[in-house]
């Protein structure tokens, strides 16, 4: 049975990836095809899907800063969006009459965005740790907390008093870090991560709340360890494989009829209104149009949570059973549409920039770009391990160097160490338009995403920048393309490490 699920998912994912769609669109299509062929979802597939979501939320918790939930952008945008949609739902379902309770619950649940898709898209593009990535993550977590209460209302099941004890899990961090220190082998680190994620889910279910939130809190408990990136990397492939079951499961819920398809398309047509509402709220709190647009696209989906509430509402006989297939198709279509839109979000903004920037407020933006770089003569863009090494090399030569990075946590750490760093997103075209490059002798690009490095080089060449451009590559095809676009120096970090190691071994 497992082969019947996995093989079509792989083939469909392969086909859509060749059409420049994310593979998850293929997984959704594979689910509908399998259902049409008579294949039914069983408890095993649902269980695997649940494990995938728990692993996803656990890895998010590994990188989560609890302070991000208290940010103005998160509380105001996330809270106002939920209040506005709730008010609209009350009016709509009251106007239609009947089933007001069930319709209201379903209407509010449609205000939630897909945690799985948003996090996966941001993580795949390396943007989860950026300023807007953290804001999106905070809003998703806020929605999940509200969703727990909504589901409890629908099921007439209240969380136990022990549920508040889960909030104390992060206090067990010293014990969790000792466990990770003791797990020196790679397979033990992987097993520890999986065990903690599943334990968090089990504890959460035992006290009557969502297992996803328990897995998230377990990740927060383990966060902050020096080897946390290693643990997250080891969980990556396993998490991806389990999440295939989640997307298959949506398609296997059933094929709706003609009337249901029309209603699902009507719900899909409302998604731009949800995205527009997010966009205006982000602008209202003072974010730039670019940040607001990219964040809104990541949130412009229907949540997988709507599938859960639709089942509960139908089971409580508050809405007719046909709503299950309508919501299932609407969620699937929203994921299929949102995935490619998010993949090309920065390009879409470039096309619409002249229209969208008109709505920006004339305030001091929290995501503002640097308009001055002082007396710097060298720039390092991307202050990870490679970028920091380059920065320190310039520093030792007493060169005037400045670092740029889009991760607030990285900036905070480097500023505490006395480094000269500023906020700057290499993928933001406005960054290269605003930076005064006249005195800059050279720019080093160490961001991991190949497309971002290419875009930055093209932007610099468009500005007729004459200085040196150095960057990294990870295979031969990248190297040739980067040189073609105008890079002065391109190195392969692992190859250079091998050369330096051999050179030191051969020293007298």
Q: 456 is written with which tokens?
A: 């930055």
Expressed in percent and rounded to 5, the helix, strand and coil fractions of the chain are 70, 5, 25
pLDDT given at position 455 = 82
Q: Which long-range contacts (CB under 8 A, 24 or more apart) does 253-256 make?
A: 253/31, 253/35, 253/41, 253/307, 253/324, 253/325, 253/328, 254/35, 254/324, 254/325, 254/328, 255/32, 255/35, 255/36, 255/325, 256/322, 256/325, 256/326, 256/328, 256/329
Show pLDDT as tens, one digit a residue, over the chain (508 residues).
678 888 888 998 899 888 767 687 788 888 888 888 888 777 788 888 888 888 887 887 787 666 666 677 788 898 899 888 878 777 766 665 555 566 677 777 788 888 777 877 777 766 676 777 778 888 888 887 777 666 656 655 566 777 777 777 778 888 888 888 888 888 888 899 899 999 988 888 888 777 777 888 888 888 878 778 778 878 877 888 888 888 888 778 777 778 888 888 888 888 898 899 999 999 988 888 888 898 899 899 888 777 767 766 776 676 777 777 788 788 888 888 888 888 788 788 888 888 988 888 876 666 666 767 778 889 999 888 889 999 999 989 889 999 998 877 788 889 888 899 988 877 776 777 778 888 899 999 998 888 788 888 988 888 888 899 999 988 878 888 899 999 999 988 888 888 888 888 887 7
With helix as H, strand as E and coil as C, how does 215-246 read?
A: HHHHHHHHCCCCCHHHHHHHHHHHHHHHHHHH
pLDDT given at position 324 = 72
pLDDT given at position 68 = 60
Q: Are 291 and 282 in contact (CB under 8 A)?
A: yes
**Backbone region of residue 144 per phi and psi (left: phi > 0; alpha: psi in -120 to 50; beta: other values):** alpha
Residue 154: how many other CB atoms lie within 10 Å: 22
pLDDT given at position 97 = 54
Coil, strand or helix at 473: coil
DSSP per-residue letters across 43-65: HHHHHHHHHHHHHHHHHHHHT--
Q: Enumerate the β-bridge partners of residue 469.
A: 443
Q: Are 418 and 407 in contact (CB under 8 A)?
A: no
Q: Which fold has domain 2-359?
A: Na+/H+ antiporter like fold (1.20.1530)
- Tally the C-alpha atoms within 13 A of residue 347's C-alpha that lie toward its C-beta: 8
Q: 429 is written with which tokens?
A: 């075209």
Angle at which helix 322-343 crosses helix 345-356, to 10 degrees, equals 80
- Tally the C-alpha atoms within 13 A of residue 43's C-alpha that lie toward its C-beta: 0
Q: 169 is written with which tokens?
A: 């899990």
- Which architecture characterizes domain 378-505 according to CATH? 3-Layer(aba) Sandwich (3.40)
pLDDT given at position 471 = 93
Q: 393 is written with which tokens?
A: 């090399």
471 phi and psi angles, rounded to 5 deg: -155, 180
2-359 matches 378-505 in fold: no
Which residues does 240 contact at the CB level (< 8 Å), separation at least 6? Answer: none
Largest CA-CA distance found in the chain, in angstroms, rounded: 88
Consecutive H or E run containing 421: strand 421-423
Q: Are 234 and 193 in contact (CB under 8 A)?
A: yes
pLDDT given at position 276 = 92
Q: Are 380 and 402 in contact (CB under 8 A)?
A: yes
How far is residue 275's CA from residue 133's CA, in Å, rounded to a whole number? 16
Q: Are 331 and 110 in contact (CB under 8 A)?
A: no
Q: Considering the entire predicted model, what is its pTM?
A: 0.70
Coil, strand or helix at 311: helix
Q: Tell me whether residue 430 is exposed, middle or buried, using C-beta atoms within 10 angstroms of its C-beta: 0 to 12, 13 to 18, 19 or more.
A: middle
Residue 170: how many other CB atoms lie within 10 Å: 19
For the chain, what are the domain ranges?
2-359, 378-505
């Amino acid at each position: 049975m497992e082969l019947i699920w996995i093989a079509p998912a792989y083939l469909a994912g392969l086909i859509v990836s060749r059409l420049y769609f994310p593979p998850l669109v293929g997984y959704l299509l594979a689910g509908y095809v399998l259902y049409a062929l008579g294949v039914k979802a069983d408890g095993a597939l649902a269980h695997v899907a649940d494990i995938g979501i728990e692993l996803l939320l656990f890895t998010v918790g590994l990188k989560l800063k609890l302070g991000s939930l208290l940010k103005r952008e998160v509380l105001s945008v996330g809270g106002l969006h939920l209040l506005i949609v709730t008010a609209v739902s009350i009016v709509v379902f009251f106007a239609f009459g009947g089933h007001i309770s069930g319709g209201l619950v379903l209407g509010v649940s449609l205000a939630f965005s897909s945690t799985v898709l948003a996090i996966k898209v941001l993580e795949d593009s390396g943007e989860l740790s950026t300023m807007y990535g953290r804001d999106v993550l905070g809003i998703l977590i806020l929605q999940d907390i509200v969703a727990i209460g909504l589901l409890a209302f629908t099921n007439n099941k209240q969380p136990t008093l022990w549920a508040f004890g889960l909030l104390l899990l992060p206090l067990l961090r010293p014990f969790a870090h000792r466990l990770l220190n003791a797990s020196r082998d790679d397979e033990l680190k992987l097993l520890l991560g999986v065990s903690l994620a599943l334990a968090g889910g089990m504890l959460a279910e035992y006290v009557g709340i969502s297992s996803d939130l328990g897995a998230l809190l377990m990740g927060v408990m383990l966060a902050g360890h020096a080897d946390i990136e290693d643990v997250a990397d080891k969980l990556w492939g396993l998490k991806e494989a389990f999440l295939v079951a989640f997307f298959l499961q949506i398609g296997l819920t059933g094929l709706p009829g003609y009337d249901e398809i029309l209603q699902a398309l009507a719900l899909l047509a409302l998604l731009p209104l949800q995205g527009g509402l997010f966009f205006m709220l982000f602008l209202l709190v003072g974010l730039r149009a670019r940040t607001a647009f990219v964040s809104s696209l990541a949130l412009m989906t229907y949540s997988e949570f709507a599938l859960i509430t639709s089942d509960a509402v139908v089971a409580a006989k508050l809405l007719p059973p046909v709503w299950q297939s309508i919501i299932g198709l609407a969620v699937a279509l929203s994921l299929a549409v949102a995935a490619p839109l998010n993949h090309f979000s920065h390009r879409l903004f470039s096309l619409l920039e002249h229209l969208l920037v008109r709505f920006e407020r004339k305030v001091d933006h929290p995501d503002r770009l640097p308009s001055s770089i002082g007396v710097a003569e060298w720039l390092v863009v991307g202050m990870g391990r490679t970028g920091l090494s380059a920065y320190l090399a310039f520093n030792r030569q007493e060169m005037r160097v400045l670092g740029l990075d889009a991760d607030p946590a990285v900036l905070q750490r480097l500023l505490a160490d006395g480094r000269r760093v500023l906020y700057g997103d290499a993928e933001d075209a406005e960054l290269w338009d605003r930076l005064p490059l006249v005195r800059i002798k050279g720019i080093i690009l160490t961001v991991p995403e190949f497309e971002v490095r290419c875009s930055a080089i093209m932007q610099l060449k468009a500005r007729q920048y004459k200085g040196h451009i150095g960057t990294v590559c990870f295979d031969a095809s990248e190297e040739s393309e980067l040189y073609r676009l105008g890079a002065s120096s391109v190195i392969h970090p692992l190859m250079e490490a091998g050369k330096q190691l051999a050179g030191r071994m051969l020293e007298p």
